[in-house]
Chains A and B, each alone.
Chain A
Amino acid sequence: MTELEVNNLTKLYDKKKLALDSINFSVKLNGIFAIIGRNGAGKTTFLRILATQLLPTSGTVLVDGVDIIKEPGKIRERMAAVPQEARPVNWMTPQEMIFSYLLWRGYSYYEAKVKTSESLATLEITEFAKKPNRTLSGGTKRKVLVATAISTEADIIFLDEPTTGLDPISRQQIWSLLKRIKENKLIFLTTHYLEEAEELADMIGILDGGKLMGLGTLSDFRSKVDFDTVVKIYKKIKLPPGLRGNIIYEVDGIHVYTDSHFAAELSESLLKEGIPFSVSPLTLQDIFFNVVHKNEEK
């Protein structure tokens, strides 16, 4: 289990733009830790600080008791990262890319060769091993980068939006790989695909406007909210009195977050009036919209 402790972590860009606002939490975790949030929520800044690529303005981060801000060298051999918008080097092949990165990490020539082949096989990209990176599809390029990170001995892996821009099949392939390798590793990923966090994450953090709005497992989030069902009404109507739950007015209708009992009552009246609607159990997306909505109201 990796113990991660974040205390009052704050990042200001150019002394005025607040990217992270006093983040505090402590978790003991192996598996996948997903940070979700809108564009500009501070996800990449947060990940870059944890990956020792960026210094915070103030605060501390301890990984298994090691202060990674003061002593990054002590923890870097346990870490590997794939930054957002990273690309495999054009003039190299996937094999050359992974091999060189392993040499950079100090592996022997033989170990690097063996680990390169293993990693290419794990990601099922051996057939592309000797093709120039510039000729590969976007999905395969992303897999090359993930293969580069997982080829190492690192047990803390940072993936910044690893599936952005990928087609559904490539995304599924990366998801199943992450599920396979997450044992005995802490995989820290950022995403704005909420279904990705829902599918993969053992722990979820919600960032909005640089603030950590919530932290826990999906069932923690579900238990914290007062409702378990969402009724989406695809028309703007006057809702019946005595409504229990949260109401969010959208462009195309109304979302009512409520309990299953009231959802049944509401559905019945909507059916009688012939108003189009749908009923579904609460998803991470619904929880996220509620959290963000509450933050905006504040």
Chain B
Amino acid sequence: MKRSKINQLLASVLVNSIYAMKNYPVITLNTFLAPFSLLIVIDLISRGSLITASILGGFLMQMTSSGLSLQGDLVHFKVDFKLQDMVVTSPTSALIYYLGMALSELIYVLPSLLVLLLLALIYIKVTFIGIISIISVLAMMFALSTSMGFMISSWASDITESWGFSGILSTVLSTLPPVYYPISHIHLGLWHIFLRQLMLQSFCNHRLV
């Protein structure tokens, strides 16, 4: 029998995003609103001076939250529905399953990405190279967060534990780092600690070589 790899990818997208968005519209609304809450607060506090950073922050946050949501969704399918076992005992490869699931998370955030793109076109003036850099960073962020999502989903024994991982990763990846604010706003003391650590690391590496 000839098997369609496209349909195998599509199955994950249908199950994890299209049918969920269709049957639970509140999920679509929640995913859509998520990046705009911080964007609006930062824009109001900075009186518009950080609009560029906060729009880019919105993009980054959506890429990060994709991986975090993926982790929860995979655990849900694995533990609560045992769907992952059903897929394992089928001709679907692990790679196709995971790629499809990652793609399904992009479908979730697509509406908010389109609005952010519109805002970016209005407020951000960047060169062609700048656009390529932003897209590359977003792609890398998506790859990093979804990879972490896959890895953590294999550790988490149930959905409640996976919420704990999501909370920690969300703070570490999208709240503390300069996502919604420019890197130049990081306190000088923190920069010193960071640079000292970096120099120490390079020294140790040099000694080891």
Contacts and interface: CB of A to CB of B under 8 A. Distances in A.
B4 A107 contact: yes
B15 A89 contact: yes
Given A92-B15, A106-B92, A101 B86 contact: yes
Contacts, number: 104
Contacts of B92: 104-106
B85 A86 contact: yes
A93 B77 CA distance: 16
A108 B4 contact: yes
Contacts of B127: none
B85 A104 contact: no
A194 to B, nearest CB: 25
Interface stretch (A76-84, A214-222, A266-274): A76-84
B176 interface: no
B201 interface: no
Contacts of B1: 77, 106, 153
A170 interface: no
Interface stretch (B16-24, B164-172, B184-192): B16-24
Interface in B111-149: none
Contacts of B80: 87
A132 interface: yes
A100 B15 CA distance: 7
A65 interface: no
Interface in B71-114: 77, 80-83, 85-93, 97
Chain A, interface residues (CB within 8 Å), range: 35 or more
B7 interface: yes
A158 B85 CA distance: 11
Interface residues of B, number: 31
Q: Which of B5, B12, B23, B80 has the most CB of A within 10 A?
A: B23
Interface of B is mostly: helix
B14 A96 contact: yes
Contacts of B97: 104
Nearest to B77: A89
B89 A76 contact: yes
A53 interface: yes
B3 interface: yes
B83 A89 contact: yes
Interface string B1-44: 11111011011101100011001100000000000000000000
A148 interface: yes
Given A88-B81, A91-B24, A109 B7 contact: yes
Contacts of A104: 8, 11-12, 87, 90, 92, 97
B91 A106 contact: yes
Interface in B46-91: 77, 80-83, 85-91
Contacts of B2: 106
Interface in A33-54: 48, 51-53
A87 B87 CA distance: 14
B14 A105 contact: no
Contacts of A79: 89-90
A219 B53 CA distance: 77
B89 A80 contact: yes
Contacts of A103: 4, 7-8, 10-11, 14
5 closest Cβ contacts across the A-B interface? A106-B3, A103-B11, A86-B82, A81-B89, A104-B11
